[in-house]
Structure 1
Amino acid sequence: MTIVMLQRLIDPNTMHVLVATPGTDQGGIDRVMASLRSQLTLDADERLHVRFAATRGPGHIATSPFYLGAFIARMTALKAAGRLDVVHINLASVGSTYRKLVIAACCRALGIPYVIHLHGADYREFWQGASAGLSRRIRAMFAGAARIIVLGRVWAEFVAGQAPEAADRIVVLPNASARPALPHRGGGDKVHILFLGRIGERKGVPQLGEALKRMEHLPGWRATIAGDGEVEAARAKVAEYGLSDRVDLPGWVGPEGVAELIATADILVLPSFAENLPVSVIEGMAAGLAVVATPVGAVEDIVTDGETGLLVPPGDVDALTDALTRTVTDAALRHRLGEAARRFHRQRLDLEPYAKAMQDVWVGATR
């Protein structure tokens, strides 16, 4: 009797899923997976047993082989016990890909269906710039997947072009977020501009700083630039601009801190040069913030310029300054954009339908 047949005899109505997460507790992938885990707990479906395990882990990258080894050992043991139907692989570029190539190869060797969930903002450049050998291995990983989740249309087209044999298994499923944990109260007498993300060039923080400098003459606003990365360099630039009394850089903040920042914000700004589908924009939309972002990655799938937010070209400081100035000075515009964003979130980006759609993907992967 095969292991799969034995599993069905032991537990015929339950699907067992093992989800590979980075486990750093700082990136967007971990935030999405933590929200998914919470929603699945609320749903309490006895027919579904989902386990989450780190493959990179917190702390120094040198410890990641231990987390990867532990994940593979757990996966193997669950398979042997007849308690594993599908593996869910969250995928980004560079180190994440090298680790997930190993996991996908083990899945194929053990006969476990796996789902690839592509999150990496710069995955196009990474894959297209890879050596011939690495590119073949990545293509084989995608070709062997039972389902491939991408976050928007642009990513579906990219993956289909790189691995055409997998095109019929691609599912577009945007990231989602829970509704705000705290009631929204805004910035009060000063319009609060909020940036959430890794501080550095890719996220457009230098351009944001320059735009805020150009708005120095404008009264009635303050800003928070929260996240890890090049924090000290950004603080020095803010001091150089003479904006230290108006722009706060607290560094990385945890979930409770993020919830408080969103509750007290009026505008969510993310002037990135590259994204997949940023979680901070979705969280801002959930709270009814006016979004100012760039049309990169799958952002245009959720932000329509002038309707659910304002879109500016990457690197265009003039356009960014204008959009922020408009949203600071025009309360009616802020309200209109924020309410439209909130409605869009409830219709398309809420956590409950996201969890149900994810379960459909897992079920489809086993057929």
Structure 2
Amino acid sequence: MSTLNIHMLYDLPVGAYHHYCALLCNALAAREEVGQVALTAVFSERRRVDVDPEEMDLVDPKVAMVILGPGGGSKFSRYYRFFSNFVRHWLALKNDGCTLVHLHTATGLNALDLGLLLAYKLKGIPIVRTIHELTAAERLAHPSGYELWFGRLLLRLTDAVIVHDPRNIPLVRAALGRDGTPVAAIPHGNYLVFRKYMPHGSQQEARAANEKPVVLFLGVKRHKGIEVFLEAMRQLQAEQFPVQGIVTGRINPGDEDLLAQIEQLANVKQDASYVPNHDMWRIYTQADVVAMPYLKGTTSGAVHLAYAFERPVIASDIDCFKGIVSDGETGLIVAQGDAAALAAAIKRLCEDQNLCRRLGRAGFERVSSGEYSWEAIAQDTLKLYRQALASEV
């Protein structure tokens, strides 16, 4: 069996995509049939020219970390460094024996996203794509007809596709418009790695009688259903139900107006800032339950993060949650967009701490199983890599 040399390409070396790609690269690099793994970020954070040391803490030393467009300086200088680095990267791919490129997310810059794919195609290097969203626009708003068309165009330039839930395979097949491209459903891996930052014995203890239970919402983003969450908290406030909401995490560009809505609620606090890896345990262990009333999505990484800290979730009934959240076993399921149902679910869990702990523990046990181990994810990913290479012959 020939050795595989893999370049994994994603947008920024920080946040959810970085966490996912770093852990997958680590698991791939541990396989005997894999020679080299390069974790390649298209851009760095604007104010940094490197990767935050804490983010590098997640990357195995066997994995080469590359930034094509380092931050710092003017927009012109950043783009000049990107294109200079990309040309060197492109020229070195075959010389370095690159077997395939694995893409994880579009940058949202259409010309760049298309150019990257065409460049790899020109080199004759197979392209594998993991679908987190079909278009970058889906992370910000409802994609236009043009954006959906462009997303399908990018997808059709790939040689194999990964989704996290088998329910998404028909959607990908329809977007591809052809039958020959391999498509595999490979689960999202666990995020148990973040437990390493927890001080010993830091799991949540029983609350005092006068303490309000806490419900956490992570990420100021419309597609995550934050407006549904705020309406549910508004209803609970009107009922004078004792609960404290916490909204934390980064703000999606264009969603800044949501902060004013949060400030109107006395029972919700907000800290709209990035949660560093070392502090992730703190925001989860202070919460009783995690609210995820997503309006749309294709991945379940947020559920894995809650389960890693033994916290039950209240999730909407969209497809990406159905395989990982079991109603009444690891969390509660509510109808998408139904604020009253979300409010009722929050009340149910906040009034029953024993139920909270039982569901949270069951979620932890689920993601601790072999099905969600990165070793199993890497094995299934390598199978798809082989299919992509066979289709190129």
Q: Normalising to structure 1: TM-score of the pair?
A: 0.81
Q: How many residues align?
A: 346
Deviations 1:209-246 (A, max 9, x none): 23223334233x433211121787555434422236xx
Shift in Å, 1:263? 3.3
8 Å contact 1:56–1:67 — kept in the other structure?
A: no
What are the ranges of 5 or more consecutive residues in structure 1 without an aligned counterpart? 1-11
Q: CA deviation at 1:83?
A: 2.2
Matched ranges for 1:211-222 at <5 A: 211-216=232-237, 217-219=240-242, 221-222=243-244
- Flag structure 2 segments of 5+ consecutive residues without an equivalent: 48-70
Q: Partner of 1:226: helix, strand, or coil?
A: strand
Post-superposition CA distance 1:277-320 (Å, at most 9, x none): 14221111222211111122412122122232211122211001
Q: 1:299 aligns with which of 321, 327, 339?
A: 321
What amino acid maps onto 2:145 in structure 1?
Answer: G
1:350 has 2:359 as partner:
no
1:319-338 superposed matches below 5 A: 319-338=341-360
Most deviating of 99-108 and 159-168: 159-168
The one of 270, 293, 308 aligned to 1:271: 293
Q: 1:66 deviation in Å?
A: 4.7
1:315 aligns to what SS in structure 2? coil
- Where does residue 386 of structure 2 map in the other structure? 363
SS at match of 2:233: helix
- The answer to whether the 8 A contact 2:235-2:340 is kept is no
Q: What letter is aligned with 2:267? A: L
> TM-score of the superposition, structure 2-length normalised?
0.77
Which of 185, 206, 210 is 2:227 aligned to?
A: 206
Report the residue type matching 1:243 in the other structure. N
Q: Are 2:304 and 1:241 equivalent residues in the alignment?
A: no
CA distance, structure 2, for counterparts of residue 215 and residue 139 of structure 1: 42
Note if contact 1:54-1:68 (Cα within 8 Å) is conserved in structure 2.
no
Offset, 1:267: 1.1
Task: Give me the whole-angstrom Cα distance separating, in 1, the residues matched to 2:272 and 2:152.
Answer: 41
Aligned to 1:105: 118
Instruction: Answer whether contact 1:147 1:365 (CA < 8 A) is retained.
Output: yes
> What does residue 72 of structure 1 align with?
86
Alpha-carbon spacing, 1:167–1:341, altered in 2? closer, same or farther (3 Å): farther
Question: Does residue 203 of structure 2 align to residue 185 of structure 1?
Answer: yes
Corresponding residue number in structure 2 for 1:48? 35
Match of 2:146 in 1: 130
The structural deviation recorded for 1:166 is 4.5
Q: 1 CA distance for matches of 2:175 and 2:157?
A: 14
Q: Which region of structure 1 is more displaced relative to structure 2, 154-163 or 46-55?
A: 46-55
Letter in 1 for 2:264: E
Structure 2 SS opposite 1:109? helix
1:33 alignment partner in structure 2: 21
The code of the aligned residue for 1:304 comes to S
For the Cα contact (< 8 Å) 2:10–2:104, is it kept in 1? Answer: yes
The superposition leaves residues 340-367 of structure 1 with CA deviations (integer Å, 9 ceiling, x where unpaired) of 2222212332333223322333333323
Q: Is contact 2:155-2:175 (8 Å) kept? A: no
Deviations 1:254-282 (A, max 9, x none): 21222322233331111121112142211
> How far apart are residue 51 of structure 1 and its match?
0.3
2:102 aligns with: 88
User: Percent identity at matched positions?
Assistant: 20
Supply the AA of the counterpart residue of 1:100: D
1:340 alignment partner, SS class: helix
Superimposed CA distance per residue, residues 53-109 of structure 1 (whole angstroms, 9 cap, x where no aligned partner) = 1124322995774575356324423324142110011134843x5433222211111
Q: Which deviates more, 116-125 or 293-302?
A: 116-125
Distance 1:343 1:122, change over 3 A: farther
Quick one: which of 304, 308, 317 aligns to 1:282? Answer: 304
Preserved contact between residue 307 and residue 367 of structure 2 (Cα < 8 Å)? yes
CA-based RMSD:
3.1
1:144-159 alignment, distance < 5 Å = 144-159=157-172
- Matched AA of 2:203: R
Q: Distance in 2 between matches of 1:138 and 1:236?
A: 33
User: More displaced, 73-82 or 170-179?
Assistant: 73-82
- DSSP-derived class of the 2:14 partner: coil
The amino acid across from 1:58 in the alignment is: E
- Going from structure 1 to structure 2, the CA distance change for 1:252 and 1:141 (only over 3 Å counts) comes to closer
Q: Match of 2:280, as an amino acid?
A: V
1:194 aligns with 216
The 3 A distance-change label for structure 1 pair 296 and 90 is same
